[in-house]
Amino acid sequence: MSAQRLPSKLDQLKTMTAVVADTGDMEAIRAFTPTDATTNPTLILKAAQLKAYEPLVNEAIVWGRSHHRLTSEVADRLAINFGEELTKIVPGRVSTEVDADLSFDVEGTVAKGRAIIAEYERRGVGRDRILIKIAATWEGARAAEILQREGIDCNMTLVFSLAQAVACADAGAFLISPFVGRILDWHVKAQGKSFTAETDPGVLSVRQIYDYFKAHGVSTVIMGASFRNKAEIEALAGCDRLTISPQLLDELARDDGGLEQRLTPHIPPDRIPAKLDLDEKTFRFMLNEDAMATEKLAEGIRVFGGDLRALRELVSQRLLAAADGEFASL
């Protein structure tokens, strides 16, 4: 009699962690049936160049031309077009990102967050289905504090340190996204060595944040992000949520080995971190003392900013093509 096959590691993971698709590719999301989906300018830029999603792009272009809208407004509409479609596929939340160039602008971030939610609600998508994605700067945390008071839930992205995580939690943010793989990248380059899943600095960072939140009764959801390999995901099984690329979702779906839950909310007394009391000066000093977090936060904002500019350039080209009476294929 043959041994009974275990469920795939992806199916096992879903029993202990909410799985989120880190992509704008809807076919990939349909294939892996995640709970939530998250996007950013990089992912929207990639998806917008796929022929399958040309109707979403064309709708935004036609709207922009007929309403005489700015390129930035058309790019915003395109992101919301993708987000609206994603809400039809996943049962949970979809994250839509605020412009990276607003990362240090409290009022601008609040205004953009309100505008995104208003457009979703105009389309019949309730705010309970959307997360406003904001960079985890001090200003981002202050903007999230305002939006959360208005019932607009926020996903704080580009989290690389406990100080960022705590500042976002203190602001009442619904969710934070620690970037596991980017933390690993920095340490590999800085130390010139490789790491196992158990010594991976990105994995250890998320475990530290998880222990802090659970030990101190913090309700903010922790969603590990930016994975470089399947082992990192397995080492964080049990985290509140994990947002995973289609490639790694596929690897997990094809693996029928056992998966152990590594994170649980019952933190032993010897692992309870000291509580942090953060004001702006303390936050900025702690971030400055952490070279990795300082550099990766700045780099992440630059990268998202560059991809946002590329997305707007793509939209600008399509607007020009529309003005000439043609819709050239992306």
Catalytic positions, please?
133
Cβ atoms 276, 53 nearer than 8 A: no
- Work out the angle at residue 31's Cα, subtended by the Cα atoms of residues 75 and 261, and round it to the nearest 5 degrees: 105
Cβ atoms 117, 87 nearer than 8 A: no
Q: Which tokens is 243 given?
A: 């947002």
CA nearest to 245, candidates 2, 16, 5, 40: 40
Cβ atoms 50, 1 nearer than 8 A: no
Residue type, 280: E
3-state SS of 99-117 is CHHHCCCHHHHHHHHHHHH
Sign of CA dihedral 158, 165, 84, 32: positive
Neighbours of 42 (CB within 10 A): 17
Query: Hey, which residues does 221 pair with through a beta bridge?
Result: 175
